[in-house]
Every structure is written in structure tokens, then in C-alpha cells.
Amino acid sequence: MAKDKQHQLDIVTKPQFIDGSALKIPMLQLLAEDGTIRKGAELPEMDKELALKIFDTMQFIRILDERMIAAQRQGRISFYLSSLGEEAASIGSAAALTDGDMIMGQYREQGALAFRGFTVEQFMNQLFSNERDLGKGRQMPVHYGCADLNFMTIASPLATQIPQATGYAYGQKMDKTGNCTICYFGEGAASEGDFHAALNMAAVYKVPAIFFCRNNGYAISTPSQGEQYAGDGIAPRGVAYGMKTIRVDGNDVFAVYQATQLARKLAVEENEPVLIEGMSYRMAGHSTSDDPTGYRTRDEEDAWRAKDPVVRFQKWLQAQGWINEDEAQKNYDEKKAAVLAALKSAETVPVPHIDEIIEDVYDTPPPHLKQQLEALKAHIRKYPEAYPKTASRIDGGDK
Amino acid sequence: MAKMNLLQAINNALDIAMAKHDNVYSFGEDTGAFGGVFRATSGLTEKYGRHRNFNTPLVEQGILGFANGLASQGSYAVAEIQFGDYIFPAFDQIVNESAKFRYRSGNEFNVGGLTIRTPYGGGIAGGHYHSQSPEAYFAHTPGLKIVMPRNPYMAKGLLLSAIFDKNPVLFMEPKRLYRASVGEVPEEEYTLELGKADLVKEGKDITVLAWGAQVEMAEKAAEMAAKDGIDCEVIDLVSLLPWDVDTVAESVRKTGRLIITQEAPITGGFASEVAATIQDQCFLYLESPIARVCGLDTPYPLSHEKEYFVDHLKVYEAIKASMTY
């Protein structure tokens, strides 16, 4: 075939359109829906300790999500986002990283954060916006962040973290840290311009980044297929940007773990950014602000319930003899008690002192902010009953 | 007349506009059959089909780019940005495209059929990214019109004007009042003039100016002041671009005092623009400095929302300070 030397292209002499569906990317699945190993599949190495840590984290997140949705319904917190059904995607991938790798999440990756070691008390302090929250009570619930655990603080705007992951990974590469950055986002966020900028730049600069798309079927009410995109999901976009790409069953913790492990190797050892698309389903609403019955059927939910990632993994663990029903139940009960205790404790902790309102706008508050704070405090002293959360200790020494 | 809340009034205006012209389109994230996260577009897909009221992919710059193109083609594009806090990816399309489409082409092309609807404002436990009032960024942009209604009656009449106005209009809806503000609204079509302030309460001692949800705080503060014998004139600015200088200036010439209150941070806010113009127009009539009662120059915090919020007490204190200056 003739070649165009400048662009390294094959030359054809008849018009030839490539069909939009020409690239069909398969899905890696190791563990079948019934918890058995798929024929021909070879599970990645995972010792009992790690397997049980993953399962423990899954159980914990399930309890946390369930309890906090209830707490929101009771008016104890203002808002919550559940990760029900997507535990394998975030926990299985986080398990394949080292603690020095950076995690940049969207807002449904509490599993990855818990796996890193964020404690139940830390979760609760953020959810109740109290003075022990690392984010100083400033953001809505579930906007976690922890520098010690290399988990970048969540921001509500969608997809903004994706190009930031490219930049962060570039710094890791230049500093020769031997670490990578994993960036999570949904298939909805992948419509944003930031996604496209991020992948293109990552491929051009060859940065150690793993872009993990949790394709959970919905962006609030908007279904992915046909309304969010017309093509074969998100994965082909990685190929288009010249990036190694893989699609996995996001409800199969082994497929997620293996793909992320290999991606990490590519990222860190060869500076090859990778796109992973994990196919899953958002079993809960987008948040406590919406009711999924308004936009999808119970049959559809039931079909996905049968693919539950936690049940699937538990079946495998039981078949291994690494855990039995009673032990799983006992763990569940212990975790539930711990969650309830932490919840009760966190909700009695006061909000941050009013002086904190002007901190961290800049590294140190400039004079105009100090003046604004003084004026605000004078006002609160005048009307203490109108600002009960801060008035009682406005002049106290317990800041 | 019918009792409607602010959302129902907006929905009703969209319904009337879509019934009136086949080339009125409504779209945004989750705005299709689901009706939007606040349900402002409920029922429109059923009534007008999924080709006229529809979901977009999750991409604000795409929504506005698409809307600009559709409007330039001669259609009426009513684009919803789910929260004002998420309008910024579309900033380029709005500031460099919508606002300059007519001017740069010598009026060969325009996007007069464009209306951008977006909820704004705080007081709903929304933290940094569901509470902002970003009107001032856009008020710095010649070529846009900006409208911020305060109640259902105003919202319906103004939205109908905005949709059929020959210029791109940013229509900012006070989400705190979506369900809280209820009032009598004519069921038929009517329009309210853009660029015209609304006298909410006549008074002689001091003028209190606000727009959108903040008008409620101005009214409450005026009620408190009335008990002290202070007679406030409360004005709703309604439109920020262009804004009704004459109505405000006339009021200040009468009262000699002006308080401007806005939800947004004080520095670089629209209140500053009003203050500058009014001191220029009314300098010799002023008996006290024009005061701005605004948000702090910090992001909008969650746990200190009550303290951050520009409530009626803060406005009331400013009224008293101005009166005793």
C-alpha cells in the first residue's frame, strides 16, 4: 500500500468511512456473577490478608452509606452521596496502588479513601461539618480530603480534577517519585471538556496517571447510552488520544484489581498513562436529593442487583474458606456499632470557631478580611440568638 | 390568576413560550423527561416532545456553544445550567461568543434568541458550589442582559420577555425561593419590561436596593426599621444589565440615603457599580455614605452559612447606621 511519508499514513484511492462503531472494546471479567472463576481466567495474586481487607472495606462502606442516607432523611446531615453497587470499582483499584500514589476522586470514592485508612471518626467529622473535620466544615458532606493519605480534597464541579491529575502526575514524573496518580470520574463527567484536555495532555506528556472511569449508567437522571454518548462508552476515547486503554467489569473486584495493577506498572515504569473504564451501576440515587424511580425501572435495578460486587466477592471468599457467613455477619455487626458510635459522637462536636471563616482564603488573612471578621463578630455579639452555632463561644478561649 | 410558586411560574412561562413558537427549545442537564433537578422543565417533554425539551450530555461549554449556534440559526434557545456555580466552563461561550456575536459581525449574525436560565444563591446548605451568586462576572460583559427575579409573578413575566428579547439574556433564578416564594400569577401570557426596576415599598427616609432573593431581606429589614420609625423605600433592581439608574437615582434624591445589599462577596460586586453611579448622580443629595451590605470576601462556607448569609439583621443594622451617621 502506498504511504504518505509525512504523516505516516496509508493511502487509499476509494472513499472509505470508518464506522462510528468500528472499535468495540471488550470487557475483562475474571469472577463470574455467581462468584466462580470464569473459564480461562486466571486470578491475580491476592493473599488472604489483602482479600479480607478489601472485603472489610466493602462492608464498612456499605454500612456507612446506608446509615448516612438514613441520617440525612432524619435531618441530621444536609446531604449524602452513596456509592452502593460501585464498591469494587473504587476499593479494588485503590488496593492495587501504593500509599504514596495520589488519589483524585469525583465524590463517590469513599471506598478508596477508607481503604487508605481514613477512620470512621474522620468520615463522621467531615459529614457533620464539625471543628474536627480536616476541611474545617466548609464543604458539603462527602467532600473528603486528606493530605496524609494522599487523597486530594473533593470539589463539586465535575471533571475539574481530571486535568489536575495529569499535572500532578507530571510533577511526580519530574520528581522521580516512583508514584502515580489515579483519577476517578463518572461517564457523565467524561463529557466535560476537562476530560478531553486531560487525556490528550497526559498522552502527549506521557505522565504516570491512571484515569479510572466509573461508568455507572447514569448522570443523575441522564442514562449513559444514547443520551450521554452515542458511541461505545468512554474507553474508545483513550485509544483516540493514543493511550493504553482497558475496559473491565467494575463489579468484579479481581478484574478491577488486575487492570489497575497492570496500569500502575505501565504508568510508573514506562510513563504510560492508562484509561480504565469500569462498567458498573449506581444502585442508589445520584444523591439524597433525587429519587431514581422517576427515571428508571425496578426491573433494571433488579437485574443489576444480581451482579452485586460485594455479594460476588463474598461468595468467592467463602468458597476459599477465608470467611464464613457467621464471621461476615459478626464483622458487619461490629462495624455497624462503630459507625453508630462515631455518628453519635461527631454530631455533638461543635462547628469550627467563627474565626476560621476567613482562614485559608489566602495563606494568611489580608487586612480587609480581618476587618470583615471583626465586623461580623460585633454583629454576632449583638444578635447571639440568631447565630447559635458560633455565638456561645465567640469570645471564649476554646478556639 | 393562579397560585404558583417560583418554579411553577418559570415552568408556566416556558410552556407558554413553547406553545407560542415551534422553534423555542429548552435543554440542559437532566432537563428532559425528568424535568430538571429542580423540576423547572417538568411536563415539557410530554407536551412538546423530546426534540424540543431535552437532556444534554454533561458539558456546560457544550450546552452554551450549542445554544449559541441554535440561536444564531434563528431559533429560540433556552439553555439551563443546573447551578450557577457550574456556569464557568461555559464562560468562554457566554462572554466571548454570546455577548459579542452581533457586535463582531456588524450585525450580520446575532444570538438574540438565547436565554440562559440558571439557579443561583445561598441559604440552602449548599456549601461552596451550590450557593454562589456570580452575577457580577457577567455584569462586566457588554452585550449581555442580566435579569434576577424575586417572586413568581416577576419570574414569569420577565422570563417571557427574556426568551423573546432580541438579545442574549442571562436569567438567574433565586433557588432559595423556588418553592418558598408563592404568589398570584396570571395564567395567560404577559411580559414585564427588562431593564426596569420595581418599587417594592415606598418610603421617605432611606432607599434600600436589592435584587433577586435579597429583596426579601431588604423588605424584612425595612419592617424592623419601621418599628424604629424609619420609613424605608425598598427597590428591586430586577435587571442588572442594563440597569435602571433613573429609578434608583430619583429615589435617592428623595431619601438622601442608600443601602445596597447583595448575596455575593462585597469586592467587585454589582453593589459597587451602583454605588459609584449613584454617588456621581446624587452627590449633593447624599446625607450619609452609600453603604453596601454584602457577603464576605471568602468562598461560601457550609458550617458558617448562617453567619455568612446576608440576613435581614445585617441590613437592618446598616439602615440604622446610615440614619444616625
Most B CBs within 10 Å, among A78, A218, A353, A354, to test the B interface = A78
* Residue A101: all three cell numbers together: 500514589
Q: Residue A399 — very low, low, confident or very high, per pLDDT cuts 50/70/90?
A: very low
Q: Residue A7 — very low, low, confident or very high, per pLDDT cuts 50/70/90?
A: confident
Tell me the chain B residues in contact with residue A130 when contact means C-beta distances shorter than 8 Å.
303
Domains annotated for chain B, with CATH where assigned, are 2-185 (3.40.50.970), 198-323 (3.40.50.920)
Domains annotated for chain A, with CATH where assigned, are 47-346 (3.40.50.970), 354-391 (no CATH)
Q: Residue A395 — very low, low, confident or very high, per pLDDT cuts 50/70/90?
A: confident
Looking at the predicted structure, is the pLDDT value of residue B278 above 60?
yes
Give yes or no: B130 in active site: yes
| Sole residue written with cell 424605608 | B232
Give me the mean pLDDT over the A78-96 stretch: 97
Give me the mean pLDDT over the B18-22 stretch: 98
Q: Residue B58 — very low, low, confident or very high, per pLDDT cuts 50/70/90?
A: very high
What is the Cα–Cα distance from A133 to A352, expressed in whole angstroms? 9
Out of A289, A357, A387, closest to residue B298 by CB: A357
For residue B218, give the nearest of B209, B226, B227 by alpha carbon: B209
Q: How far is A241 from chain B (nearest CA, A)?
A: 19
Taking an 8 Å cut-off on Cβ atoms, the answer to whether A221 and B34 are in contact is yes
CA B2 to chain centre: 23
Give the whole-number percent of chain B exceeding pLDDT 70.
100
What is the Cα–Cα distance from B206 to A155, expressed in whole angstroms? 42
Out of A139, A193, A379, closest to residue B59 by CB: A193
Choose the catalytic residue: B130, B216, B233, B263.
Answer: B130
Interface of B with A in 85-104 (CB under 8 A): 85-86, 88-89
Q: How far is B56 from chain A (nearest CA, A)?
A: 7
* Residue B178: all three cell numbers together: 423556588
Give me the mean pLDDT over the B236-243 stretch: 98
Taking an 8 Å cut-off on Cβ atoms, the answer to whether A390 and B304 are in contact is yes
For residue B7, give the nearest of B33, B50, B45, B42 by alpha carbon: B42
User: What one-letter code names the amino acid at A28?
Assistant: L
Nearest CA in chain A to B28: A222
Is some CB atom of chain A closer than 8 A to the CB atom of B57?
Answer: yes
Taking an 8 Å cut-off on Cβ atoms, the answer to whether B30 and A368 are in contact is no
CB-CB contact of A336 with A54 (8 Å):
no
Taking residue B281's Cβ as centre, other Cβ atoms within 10 Å add up to 16
A355 phi/psi in degrees, rounded to 5: -60, -25
Q: State the count of interchain CB pairs (< 8 A) between A and B.
A: 134
pLDDT tens track for B166-212? 999 999 999 999 999 999 999 999 999 999 999 999 999 999 999 99
Tell me the chain A residues in contact with residue B32 when contact means C-beta distances shorter than 8 Å.
221-222, 227
Q: Residue A286 — very low, low, confident or very high, per pLDDT cuts 50/70/90?
A: very high
Taking an 8 Å cut-off on Cβ atoms, the answer to whether B62 and A191 are in contact is yes
Q: What is the pLDDT of residue A4?
A: 83
Q: Residue A132 — very low, low, confident or very high, per pLDDT cuts 50/70/90?
A: very high
For residue B148, give the nearest of B131, B136, B166 by alpha carbon: B136
Is some CB atom of chain A closer than 8 A to the CB atom of B61?
Answer: yes
Taking residue A271's Cβ as centre, other Cβ atoms within 10 Å add up to 18
Is some CB atom of chain A closer than 8 A to the CB atom of B62?
Answer: yes
| Helical (H) or strand (E) element with B233 | strand B232-236
Give me the mean pLDDT over the A128-155 stretch: 98
Report how many helices (DSSP H) and strands (DSSP E) chain A contains, helices first: 13, 10
Q: How far is A351 from chain B (nearest CA, A)?
A: 6
Alpha helices in chain B (DSSP H): 6-20, 44-48, 60-72, 91-92, 101-104, 135-139, 152-164, 214-227, 245-255, 270-282, 305-308, 312-323
For residue A60, give the nearest of A118, A147, A140 by alpha carbon: A118
Give bridge partners of residue B55 from the DSSP assignment.
B28
| Helical (H) or strand (E) element with A337 | helix A325-346
| Global pTM exceeds 0.90 | yes
Most A CBs within 10 Å, among B56, B292, B304, to test the A interface = B304
Taking an 8 Å cut-off on Cβ atoms, the answer to whether A229 and B130 are in contact is no
Taking an 8 Å cut-off on Cβ atoms, the answer to whether B303 and A229 are in contact is no
Please tell me whether the peptide bond between B242 and the residue prior to it is cis, using omega within 30 degrees of 0. Answer: yes
* Residue A390: all three cell numbers together: 458560633
Taking an 8 Å cut-off on Cβ atoms, the answer to whether B89 and A193 are in contact is yes
Residue B256: exposure state from Cβ atoms within 10 A (0-12, 13-18, ≥19): middle
Q: What is the pLDDT of residue A99?
A: 98
Give me the mean pLDDT over the B211-234 stretch: 98
Looking at the predicted structure, is the pLDDT value of residue A6 above 90?
no
* Residue B303: all three cell numbers together: 458550617
Alpha helices in B85-134 (DSSP H): 91-92, 101-104
* End-to-end CA gap in chain B: 45
Give me the mean pLDDT over the B91-109 stretch: 98
Looking at the predicted structure, is the pLDDT value of residue A396 above 80?
no
Q: How far is B262 from chain A (nearest CA, A)?
A: 15
Give me the mean pLDDT over the A43-62 stretch: 98
Tell me the chain A residues in contact with residue B302 when contact means C-beta distances shorter than 8 Å.
78, 129, 137-140
Give yes or no: B173 in active site: no
* Residue A378: all three cell numbers together: 460585633
B112 phi/psi in degrees, rounded to 5: -60, -25
What is the Cα–Cα distance from A239 to A170, expressed in whole angstroms? 20
Nearest CA in chain A to B300: A138
Choose the catalytic residue: A108, A143, A286, A312.
Answer: A286
Looking at the predicted structure, is the pLDDT value of residue B144 above 60?
yes
A151 phi/psi in degrees, rounded to 5: -125, 105
Out of B57, B125, B302, closest to residue A138 by CB: B302
Q: What is the pLDDT of residue A5?
A: 81
Tell me the chain A residues in contact with residue B62 when contact means C-beta distances shorter than 8 Å.
191, 193
Taking residue A341's Cβ as centre, other Cβ atoms within 10 Å add up to 13
Is some CB atom of chain A closer than 8 A to the CB atom of B268?
Answer: no
Taking an 8 Å cut-off on Cβ atoms, the answer to whether B303 and A219 are in contact is no
Give me the mean pLDDT over the B294-321 stretch: 98
Taking an 8 Å cut-off on Cβ atoms, the answer to whether A354 and B301 are in contact is no
Looking at the predicted structure, is the pLDDT value of residue A342 above 70?
yes
Looking at the predicted structure, is the pLDDT value of residue A301 above 90?
yes
Is some CB atom of chain A closer than 8 A to the CB atom of B313?
Answer: yes
Alpha helices in B73-213 (DSSP H): 91-92, 101-104, 135-139, 152-164
For residue B120, give the nearest of B242, B223, B240, B276 by alpha carbon: B240
Give me the mean pLDDT over the A33-57 stretch: 97
What is the Cα–Cα distance from B238 to B147, expressed in whole angstroms? 6
Taking an 8 Å cut-off on Cβ atoms, the answer to whether A137 and B304 are in contact is yes
What is the Cα–Cα distance from B296 to B309, expressed in whole angstroms? 9
When the pLDDT of each residue in chain A is averaged and rounded to a whole number, the result is 96
Q: What is the pLDDT of residue A3?
A: 83
What is the Cα–Cα distance from B1 to B190, expressed in whole angstroms? 12
pLDDT tens track for A187-235? 999 999 999 999 999 999 999 999 999 999 999 999 999 999 999 999 9
Give me the mean pLDDT over the A326-331 stretch: 96
pLDDT tens track for A15-42? 999 999 999 999 999 999 999 999 999 9
Q: How far is B246 from chain A (nearest CA, A)?
A: 32
Question: Crossing angle, helix A120-127 and helix A325-346, to 10 degrees?
Answer: 40
Q: How far is A396 from chain B (nearest CA, A)?
A: 17
